[in-house]
Amino acid sequence: MSKAGIIRAVTFFGILALLPLGVKPQWVINLLIFTLMYSTLASSWNLIGGYAGYPSLGHAAFFGFGAYFIGIIFESSIGNGYNPFLILPLVGLCAGLISIPIGFIAMKTRKDVFAIVTITLLFMVQTLAYNLRAVTGGAQGKGVAVPPFDPANFGRPFYYVMLILLLVAMSISFYFRRSKIGLSLAAVRADEDKAHGVGIQVTAVKLIAFALSVGIASMVGGVWGYYEGFIYPQFAVDPLITIGMVLMTFLGGRATLWGPVLGAFILVPAQQYFAYEFGATQFYLLAYAAIFLIIMLVLPRGILPTLTDRIRIKAKIAVEANK
Amino acid sequence: MTSLLEVKHLTKRFGGITAVNDCSFEVQEGSITALIGPNGSGKTTAFNIITGYLKADSGSISFRGKDIAEPDPAKLYRSGLSRTFQQARIFPEISVLENLIVASGYSWKGLLGARTTNGDRKIAGEMLEEFKLSALADFYASELSYGQRKLLEFASVLMSSPKLVLLDEPTAGVNPVMIETMERHIRSRHASGVTFLIVEHDMQLVMRLCDPVIVLDHGAMIAQGTPTQVQANAQVLDAYLGS
């Protein structure tokens, strides 16, 4: 890890760790929780959608799985406290294991077909959530026991758990970049058949990326479910959640470490701002789309790759000029 | 000499078209064998079947004396059978050096390890040295010229220390100097014990480099022999020029 990289990471996580101590208003903490949530979701999506080049649109299915997992276990007991957070690794593990056969079948397809196959998964899980009433409560929703946290700092535990999950997601992302898994995935993304032909363990690296990616998404879903306190199928297994994480990754830059986080830090506050400005109408979605379109037109590969390319080209020109 | 690769009664149909038709041939160990034929004669299809990219309708393939029941590209590559593609398929978004490392056939343990270890850099560096690409090691492969890409693809599939290398039109679309460079690299690798099977349309290159020459037409082998024998074969002339 380069010195600048360490400084960047320590500063970023240091500021975020101290922030709730100084910032009191609940709405700000709430906004930060959702920003961290989407940063984590986008970072995890990036593992499969960015590095491997498999644009999954089914991640909200696993997000919902995590939410219901926590909801079902902690439905009635009062004073669960921090227990749901301690269960999260188990949630991630289960989602990761379930994802292996699903990924194995879905990744027989690629690109746009893969996107369609995975969005089908999302709607299948949503339908299950509506119809398995005995388990999920169906359209009535599923209540999760309210945690006994201090009302003045109610959001704080959720904030820190989201921050830890972001650290986990970014650590895996960093590990991918520095290991042969990342190198293999770069080859798979560019030309999977050729990658197979030079002996790369194609199926294994794809499944590793998919399992880690949806494992994290399910843990985030678990925290979200506990935070919301009530889980409805249309919000737990929501195409907008999938689209959110995809857009943020595209915006910040696919297959980069900081891109998905940058995308989330721009889009989540922007979305909240527009939602506030335009009130209860769904017009904020249009504004949201407009930002995305403008940035995609100006910086088609996302913010970070476009900027680093520009710096690279400038440096090259400077080297040439000095010759 | 023993045969390194044996293809027996290979047949492949695409709808109503028979691309490879009951085709049998052998590649002797230590040879530079050419596979020639007019466009559409089934050379690349045969390559794709041998290397596991396509499933044959019937026929059998054996490599190093062992029957390959279900050819799998990754397994074959790891067991010493490499190939290149007509269009020079490299990985554009990683560096030239990494293009070699990614093709080195690393183990499961290696997969979890560092992206480029010192050992990787040493081995890949030597290969770049041999191919005179060292100056480009840290460039993205997308920044290379077409000829350089062909060289890079050739160099990368040598990273597994193959016994047999299948080259699909190694000199198509590159300049005359690059053709000579390519020929020199094939000869030097051949001298160190690598067997080659080459699909090529540059007949001058085929005639001075390869022996034997196998000729396909409409998916079937119509002639086999030294370059002079093949050049004098009436059936071959007929296939190329029509009668």
Instruction: Tell me, yes or no, whether B137 lies in a domain.
Output: no
Does A183 contact B94 at a Cβ distance shorter than 8 Å?
A: yes
How much of chain A, in percent, has pLDDT values that exceed 70? 98
**pLDDT score at A77:** 65
- Tens digits of per-residue pLDDT, A192-236? 999 999 999 999 999 999 999 999 999 999 999 999 999 999 999
Establish if A196 belongs to a structural domain.
yes
> pLDDT at position A145, please?
83
CA dist., res. A315 & res. B220, Å (int): 55
Q: Is A205 on the interface with B (CB under 8 A)?
A: yes
CA distance A178 to B51: 31
Select from A258, A241, A245 the least CA-distant residue to A304.
Answer: A258
Range of the domain at A284: 20-322
* 3-class state of residue B62 by DSSP: strand
Say what the pTM is: 0.93
Average pLDDT over residues B160-171: 95
Any domain includes A2: no
pLDDT at B178 over 70: yes
Q: Which two tokens stand for residue A198?
A: 């030079």
What pLDDT shows up at residue A178?
Answer: 94
CA distances from B221 to A100, B58, B61, B71 (A): 45, 16, 16, 22
Burial of A281 (0-12, 13-18, 19+ CB in 10 A): exposed
State the total domains in chain A.
1
Confidence band for B192, pLDDT divided at 50, 70 and 90: very high
Asked if residue B11 lies in contact with residue B58, where contact means CB atoms within 8 angstroms, the answer is yes
Cα–Cα dist A225/A142, whole Å: 9
Mean pLDDT of all residues belonging to chain A: 91
Looking at residue A79, its pLDDT comes to 63
Query: Does residue B139 lie in a domain region?
Result: no
**Does A13 reside within a domain?**
no
Provide the pLDDT confidence category of residue A106 given band limits of 50, 70 and 90: very high
Q: Considering the domain boundaries, does residue B17 fall inside one?
A: yes
The token pair at A44 is 């995890």
Q: Are A263 and A248 in contact (CB under 8 A)?
A: yes
- Determine the residue type at B81: L
Query: Could you give phi then psi for residue A178, rounded to 5 degrees?
Result: -100, 0
Residues in chain A: 323
User: How far are the Cα atoms of A184, A253, B128 from residue A260, in angstroms, in the given order?
Assistant: 21, 6, 35
Residue B185 lies in a domain: yes
Q: What is the pLDDT of residue A213?
A: 98
Classify residue B237: in a domain, yes or no. yes
d(CA B84, CA B166) in angstroms, rounded, equals: 6
Whether residue A322 has pLDDT greater than 80:
no
Within-domain flag for A312: yes
Residue at B109 is within a domain: no
- The b/e string for A283-295 (b: 16+ C-beta within 10 A; e otherwise) is ebeebbeebbeeb
Q: In what order do the strands lie in the sheet with B3-14?
A: B17-28, B3-14, B58-63, B66-67
Q: Could you tell me which of B154, B160, B200 has the C-alpha nearest to residue B181?
A: B154
Number of domains, chain B: 1
Domain assignment of residue B227, given as a range: 3-86+165-241
Q: Is residue B74 part of a domain?
A: yes
Q: A–B: how many Cβ contacts below 8 A? A: 83
Interchain proximity A187–B102, CB inside 8 Å: yes
Alpha carbon A282 to its chain centroid, in Å, reads: 23
- pLDDT higher than 90, residue A119: yes
Facing A191 at nearest CB: one of B53, B91, B105:
B91
How far is C-alpha A266 from the geometric centre of its chain's CA atoms?
Answer: 14
Residue-averaged pLDDT of chain B: 92
Give the pLDDT confidence of A31-89 residue by residue, as tens digits: 999 999 999 999 999 999 999 999 999 999 999 999 999 999 888 766 678 889 999 99
Per the model's pLDDT, the better-predicted residue between A299 and B133 turns out to be B133
Cβ-contact A197, B103 below 8 angstroms = no
Chain A touched by B74 (CB under 8 Å):
yes
Tokens of A280: 């209860």
Whether B237 shows a pLDDT value over 90: the answer reads: no
Angle subtended by helix axes A26-45 and A3-22, to nearest 10 = 150
C-beta of residue A82 within 8 angstroms of C-beta of residue A164: no
**Domain at B203, CATH number:** 3.40.50.300
Identify which has the larger pLDDT, A5 or A291: A5
What whole-number percentage of chain A has pLDDT above 90?
A: 68
B71 domain residue, yes or no = yes
Q: Is the pLDDT of residue A291 over 80?
A: no
pLDDT of residue A276: 82
Interface membership of B165 toward A (CB under 8 Å): no
Q: Which amino acid is at A120?
A: T
What is the pLDDT at residue A81? 84
Predicted confidence at residue B214, as pLDDT, reads 94
Tokens of A213: 């990616």
Contacts of B139 in chain A (CB under 8 A): none
User: Helices (H), strands (E): how many in chain B?
Assistant: 10, 10
